[in-house]
């Protein structure tokens, strides 16, 4: 059967591409512990799956070459074979074992990426609210009391807690080299813990389709040394203008804008949908989630509460 030729070729090129490109593909070129966990999970699963593929392909090629109809076996009557309890058990149990191994890895790594990365637990995370509106990203730094649009600067080797929400359709916050994505939605705040261990400029984007300008909805994450970062914050505080409510509303009404910098945040007049403002809360195993459980439990969502929080400014 000629089929196996091209397929084997694809398989080999797959492996070669993987090994050749691994230093180039963004996801497999992590610059922080979260992305590192994810990329090693991916590579581990690729190896396991390559073994599975190999087994199937070897058997497949064997069956097709050995049992093809030829002139030599013209009168051959294939036997009636019901099946084999043992063989069928084997190819049930081995996949179960593989799935169990992968499940253990998955549960452990899923827990790991939801938490502050190991080794950074004792540091106070830098909280940055990242919210999307139409096709732009707003980054509010409550501690520093500054806000940027479409770019975000972070210090290296310090945990950053992004709090994600949206003033419009669901978007997904993704910085492939620092860690996988999470959704930003209008009625709750999602938390994403990232750490950059290398200085540099990283590509970030919304990866959940959100309408016309979606393709252009990118931002830059600039990881700076703590000293440079502090200097940048000071600079912003000195030079940038304040973000007024009018200015912010105007910003929301403009679908696409370039980079902006402000020396105050929108959180004061337009708080994020968390705590008393929240519809529901799905924080990822976070310590302070406990403090607010009373007001955040969405099973007894309070309609009065909902009215006071207005998400519909957005066109």
Partner 1 sequence: MKLDEFFVTGEPMIYAAMVSIVVASLAILIGLTYFKKWGYLWREWLTTVDHKRIGVMYIIAALLMLFRGGVDALLMRAQLAVPENGLLDAQHYNEIFTTHGVIMILFMAMPFIIGLMNIVVPLQIGARDVAFPRLNAVSFWLFFAGAMLFNLSFVIGGSPDAGWTAYFPLASLELSPTVGNNFYSIALQIAGIGTLLTGVNFIVTILKMRAPGMKLMQMPMFTWSILITSVIILFAFPVLTVALALMMFDRMFGGQFFTMANGGMDMLWANLFWVWGHPEVYIVILPAFGIYSEIISTFSKKNLYGYKSMVASMVVISLLSFVVWAHHFYTMGHGAMVNGVFSITTMAIAVPTGVKIFNWLFTLQKGRISFTTPMLYTLAFIPIFTIGGVTGVMLAMASADYQYHNTMFLVAHFHYVLIPGTVFAVIAGFHYWFPKMFGFRLNERLGKLAFWLIAIFFNVTFLPLFFLGLNGMSRRMYTYSAGSGFGPLNMIASIGAVGLALGFVVLCYNIYWSFRYAPRENASDPWGGGRTLEWATHSPVPEYNFARTPNVKGMDAYWHSKKENQPLFEGKIEPIHMPNNSGQPFILGVIFFFLGFFLIFSWWIPSIIAGIAVIIMLAARTFERDHGRHIPVKEIIETEKKLGGELV
Per DSSP, the residues of 28-63 read GS-SSHHHHHHHHHHHHHHHHHHHHHHHHHHHHHHH
- Site stretch for partner 1 (CB under 8 A), options 147-155, 185-193, 238-246, 263-271: 185-193
Choice from 105, 127, 222, 240 touching partner 1 (CB under 8 A): 105
Helix (H, G, I), strand (E, B) or coil at 217: coil
Residues in 223-262 that interact with partner 1 by CB under 8 A: none
* Under 8 Å between Cβ of 111 and 100: no
Query: With CB under 8 A as the contact rule, which of the stretches 38-46, 144-152, 153-161, 224-232 interacts with partner 1?
Result: 38-46
Rg (CA), the chain: 26
Q: Which of 32, 113, 154, 278 binds partner 1 (CB under 8 A)?
A: 113
**Which of positions 135-174 make contact with partner 1 (CB under 8 A)?**
168-170, 172, 174
Binding status of residue 12 toward partner 1 by CB under 8 A:
no
CB-wise, 209 or 269, nearer to partner 1?
209
Residue that is written with structure tokens 């999470």 in the block: 182
b or e along 69-86 (b: 16 or more beta carbons within 10 Å of the residue's beta carbon)?
A: eeeeeeeeeeeeeeeeee
Residue 255's alpha-carbon distances to 118, 136, 169, 315, in angstroms, are 39, 7, 13, 10
Closest C-alpha to 226, from 128, 161, 160, 156: 156
CA atoms within 13 A on the CB side of 124: 1
CB of 299 to partner 1, least distance (A): 12
Q: Which stretch binds partner 1 (CB under 8 A): 232-240, 248-256, 262-270, 278-286?
A: 278-286
CB 280, min distance to partner 1, A: 8
Task: Please state the closest distance from residue 159 (CB atom) to partner 1, in A.
Answer: 17
Distance CA 192, CA 306 (A): 25
Q: Which stretch binds partner 1 (CB under 8 A): 67-75, 142-150, 154-162, 250-258?
A: 67-75
Determine which residue in the list 19, 23, 69, 246 makes contact with partner 1, applying CB under 8 A.
69
Candidates 122-130, 146-154, 179-187, 257-265: pick the segment binding partner 1 (CB under 8 A): 179-187
Q: At what angle do helices 33-66 and 85-114 cross, to 10 degrees?
A: 160
Binding mask 82-101 for partner 1 (x = CB under 8 A): xxx--xx--xx--xx-xx--
The yes or no reply on residue 68 touching partner 1 (CB under 8 A) is: yes
């Amino acid at each position: 059967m000629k089929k196996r030729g091209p397929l084997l070729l694809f398989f080999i090129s797959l492996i070669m591409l993987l090994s050749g490109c691994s230093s180039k593909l963004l996801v497999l070129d992590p610059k922080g512990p979260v992305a590192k966990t994810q990329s090693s999970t991916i590579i581990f699963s690729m190896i396991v799956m390559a073994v599975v593929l190999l087994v199937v392909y070897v058997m497949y090629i064997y069956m097709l070459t050995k049992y093809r109809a030829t002139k030599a076996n013209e009168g051959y009557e294939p036997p009636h074979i019901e099946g084999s309890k043992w063989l069928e058990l084997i190819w049930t149990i081995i996949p179960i074992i593989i799935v169990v191994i992968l499940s253990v890895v998955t549960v452990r790594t899923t827990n790991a990426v939801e938490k502050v990365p190991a080794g950074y637990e004792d540091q106070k995370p830098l909280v940055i609210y990242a919210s999307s509106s139409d096709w732009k990203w707003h980054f509010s730094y409550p501690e520093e009391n500054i806000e940027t649009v479409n770019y975000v600067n972070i210090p290296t080797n310090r945990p950053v807690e992004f709090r994600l929400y949206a003033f419009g359709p669901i978007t997904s916050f993704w910085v492939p080299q620092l860690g996988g994505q999470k959704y930003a939605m209008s009625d709750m705040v999602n938390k994403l813990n990232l750490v950059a261990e290398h200085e540099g400029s990283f590509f970030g984007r919304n990866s959940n389709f959100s309408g016309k300008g979606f393709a252009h909805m990118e931002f830059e994450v600039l990881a700076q040394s703590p000293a440079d970062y502090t200097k940048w914050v000071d600079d912003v505080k000195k030079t940038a203008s304040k973000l007024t409510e009018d200015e912010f509303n105007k910003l929301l009404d403009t679908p696409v804008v370039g980079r902006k910098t402000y020396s105050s945040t929108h959180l004061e007049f337009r708080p994020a949908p968390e705590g008393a403002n929240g519809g529901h809360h799905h924080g990822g195993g976070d310590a302070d989630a406990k403090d607010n459980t009373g007001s955040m439990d969405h099973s007894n969502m309070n309609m009065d509460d909902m009215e006071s929080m207005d998400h519909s400014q957005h066109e």
